Amino acid sequence: MKKKEYENKIGNNYDKDFKAKILWTNSPIKFDVIRYMFHLDAAGNPKTWEAVPGRYQREFVQQCSADIDWNVTSSIKQEYEQDREAARQGKRGQAFYNKVVFATDKNLISYDYPIKSGYYFNPAGKYTFEVTTVNYKTGQGKTKEHEELVNALINSFRYESNLIYINGSNQAVNIANGSYKTPGILTAKNNKGIGGKELISVKTTEYKNIANEIPYYSDKPYENENENKSHDFWKMSMEGYSLSGSLDSYTKYKYREYVAGNQKVYEITETTKVEIVVNGDNNKFYTHPKMPDGEYYIRVWLDNINLGKMSGVDYSSINDTLKGVILDNIKITVKGSIYDDIS
């Protein structure tokens, strides 16, 4: 029989946007087949038919897929815009600044995000992703392929900043409460920052599972293959059909296979939506008053996901990497400190 070629790759690997597509094939599902043998009458004409086992066990294989779509629900820029506008208007007093105290000095107003060290600078941002997978399984429940991909996407999330903060012991630290000499990186697993505050929260906002059985009809022999309303996916996998490139087996030898009873395959379409929030409680974190002047950054990005290293899932055969991408970022200019304002 002619085997159909399927794709096994990562497509649109975050090339133009925050979308990616993964294509693979399901692990072959073996199934038994029957054929129909005709009994002839005395004149040699077909009289009755009988179902007998087919020559070979067949395999059900189809194209599986995952569509991934990340979105910046509320960017760092959007989160800080109210505070930035207050600074542009020259408003003084921390009551006007919900998340960041931006500098109001005229010589600093031209910078995108100017601050003086020693004031609070609270992390912020909201991000979502939606992933839809299509798998073929003998059961209807949640698939490991979907579950593992969702977890991998969650764990690929990174919030990174090289701003220098001060902790409760007056020590200089990064936002992850580590050495100030290296950028602080927060993840879903390592989500606690200065003072043990939880800064990355993850919430599944929706999960849907639609399982459709792939139908077949083996109740009788069919002279015309199109009269048999079995799904094309089955016909691709058996002998005696044009879709499997073996119609000659029927036209020449009257050999055509049908799915043996008690075999079930489901097309399972799962969709999960996840929301990731940075510092949803708007905890206050103060920058170190002696943080040197210069340019600093905040970056939200996704780490690489090596599909080939994921075990127990069909798409590990791709042996490729879903590449990382920057979702969001800003640059902060530090000039002067809080001491300038109180001296």
Structure tokens at 286: 């103060």
At 279 the pLDDT is 98
Tell me, yes or no, whether 200 lies in a domain: yes
Residue scoring higher pLDDT (340 or 77) = 77
At 319 the pLDDT is 85
- Interatomic CA distance for residues 115 and 97, integer angstroms: 12
8 Å CB contact between 217 and 228: yes
In a shared domain, residues 86 and 182: yes
Closest to 138 (Cα-Cα) out of 84, 73, 214:
214
Instruction: Check pLDDT > 80 for residue 174.
Output: yes
In a shared domain, residues 166 and 308: yes
pLDDT (tens digit per residue) in 102-117: 999 999 989 999 999 9
Tell me, yes or no, whether 225 lies in a domain: yes
Looking at residue 111, what DSSP letter applies? S
Residue scoring higher pLDDT (135 or 49) = 135
In a shared domain, residues 142 and 189: yes
Domain limits for position 220: 27-60+215-264
Structure tokens at 115: 């601050």
pLDDT (tens digit per residue) in 288-310: 999 999 999 999 999 999 999 99
In a shared domain, residues 157 and 227: no
Structure tokens at 226: 């199109």
Closest to 118 (Cα-Cα) out of 101, 132, 99, 133:
101
In a shared domain, residues 32 and 97: no
**In the chain, beta strands by DSSP E:** 9-11, 19-25, 29-31, 33-40, 46-53, 58-60, 63-74, 114-117, 125-137, 157-161, 165-166, 172-173, 184-186, 200-213, 258-259, 266-278, 294-302, 305-306, 321-322, 325-337
Positive or negative, the CA dihedral 62, 247, 259, 230 is positive
How far is the CA of 122 from the CAs of 119, 170, 193, in angstroms?
A: 10, 17, 11
pTM here is 0.93
- Interatomic CA distance for residues 214 and 121, integer angstroms: 55
Instruction: Check pLDDT > 90 for residue 155.
Output: yes
Structure tokens at 99: 């998340």
In a shared domain, residues 280 and 297: yes
Work out the mean pLDDT of the chain and round it to a whole number. 95
8 Å CB contact between 328 and 277: no
pLDDT (tens digit per residue) in 238-275: 999 999 999 999 999 889 999 998 899 999 999 999 99
Tell me, yes or no, whether 74 lies in a domain: no
Instruction: Check pLDDT > 80 for residue 16.
Output: no
Instruction: Check pLDDT > 70 for residue 343.
Output: no
At 38 the pLDDT is 82
Instruction: Check pLDDT > 70 for residue 76.
Output: yes
- Interatomic CA distance for residues 127 and 48, integer angstroms: 65
In a shared domain, residues 194 and 142: yes
- Interatomic CA distance for residues 23 and 57, integer angstroms: 26
Tell me, yes or no, whether 13 lies in a domain: no
Q: List Cβ neighbours of 215 (8 Å cut-off, separation of 6 or more).
A: 229, 230, 231
Q: List Cβ neighbours of 226 (8 Å cut-off, separation of 6 or more).
A: none
In a shared domain, residues 117 and 240: no
Query: How many domains in the chain?
Result: 2
Give me the residues paired with residue 120 across strands. Answer: 286
Tell me, yes or no, whether 68 lies in a domain: no
Instruction: Check pLDDT > 80 for residue 15.
Output: no
Please state the rounded mean pLDDT for residues 133-138: 98
In a shared domain, residues 248 and 291: no
In a shared domain, residues 188 and 304: yes
At 14 the pLDDT is 81
pLDDT (tens digit per residue) in 190-220: 999 999 999 999 999 999 999 999 999 999 9
In a shared domain, residues 201 and 322: yes
CA angle 230, 241, 140 (to 5 degrees): 35
Tell me, yes or no, whether 4 lies in a domain: no
Structure tokens at 270: 């799962």
Instruction: Check pLDDT > 90 for residue 3.
Output: no
Structure tokens at 305: 């996901």
Tell me, yes or no, whether 326 lies in a domain: yes
In a shared domain, residues 227 and 314: no
